[in-house]
Structure 1
Amino acid sequence: MITPHQAMGLSSAHLVEVTDGHFLQGTVKSAFEQMQKAALRQKIDVQICSSFRSFERQLSIWNRKWKGELPLYRLNGEKLNANTLSDEEKIHAIMLWSALPGASRHHWGTDFDVYDKANVEALQHDFQLIPQEYEGSGPCAKLSSWLTTYAKDFGFSFPYAEYVGGVAKEPWHLSHTESASAIETQFSTERLANTLSESTICGKDTILENLDNLVYRYTFNEGKKS
């Protein structure tokens, strides 16, 4: 079991390198490599495009989106103007696509994003990590279909398989179910609140006022509380 400090992305001591600067927990790495080998036998090149992200990196993304330095989007892809949103609206707009620092599953070393690297490169596709690339004739459609059938055989699941009122659909996001579930069970919003209180995160007061619901709705993807 990882420490609360590690669960919030404040340390990477629980991780080992997989490849190309990507890091996961050791048991997760082993499961991923087994899945990767199985997929390759079907000519599917499963590669990681995002794994561990630290608290500071997630904080930078958050603050840049808050200030309008990075774009915000609606669920349908329509661009939003950050300057026209209330603090609460801005929080939800950011969390539709990007996690709250300290509450990102990418801190845990159990979750990562994948793509079919060989097919993307063969097609000379300008890869953007959007759902359409994993559907129909998209460069990662075969990968997505294979993972839907076989990922569970290697211990993986899709925490954001569908939009349920929290995070937008992410067919690329895999989670090592057993390892992640242990962290979810022990996750402390009180510790997270203390960490965020001491940070430079934009929108701090509104975040702290709504923290329990934000973690429930987005990190655990349980949708809106009734």
Structure 2
Amino acid sequence: MQFDDTVRSRRAILGSAAALAAFAVTRSTVGSADRVAPKPVPTPVRRRIFAEPKAASVRAPRGVQPELFDRAIAALDTHGDRVRRRDRIAIADFDAPSSEHRFQFIDLEQGEVTAMLVAHGSGSDPSHSGMLQRFSNEPNSNATCQGAFVTADYYVGKHGRSQRIVGLDSTNDNARSRAIVIHGAWYANPDMIQSHGMLGRSQGCFAVGEQDLPQVFAMLGEGRMIYAGKA
């Protein structure tokens, strides 16, 4: 009797264990089926970020020779580390006669142009025709030199208040030693055109009308570029 009871107890325990195991398996299976699998975390996509395309080349404002303007802008890029103010430039267009307003001050941000008279050197126009015939960088040539310049400091000399400029190219790197500057002069005043049909000549300096000089200084200041040339 005792043996039978023991057997029954063991069978009951085993049966209970089996039932629990079956229940656990069933619950696990049902839970797995019902549970929503988590969404995989997307792998970050590395996108190449391109800089905005450079703006189209600045076009020459009306009245400015495109070839000269393009060369001036190229010079501004070439000498950018020496030209600290890049909002305005000046172009001396020596294709034009001295009777024309060929000293062009260009606001690169607004596209506005202010033009004035400017004389060229006697060595560039020996016959005094009013047209620049040649450039020279040679000392004592009294000629206008071509290329890019940067405006420097002001001083008072024999022409009154004047401004030094520094030549940035091999075609004008003697400008400082030649004392090529910006100054006012009577022979660059507008009345010279009325009486002679042309301006007088400098010794290679950018000579402007005496009344125009303050405005020239205001538009140039220090650290801006002047480009002189012919197309």
Question: Larger % of strand: which?
Answer: 2
Between structure 1 and structure 2, the one with the greater Rg is 2
TM normalised by structure 1 equals 0.25
TM normalised by structure 2 equals 0.25
Structure of higher RCO (CA pairs closer than 8 Å, 6+ residues apart): 1
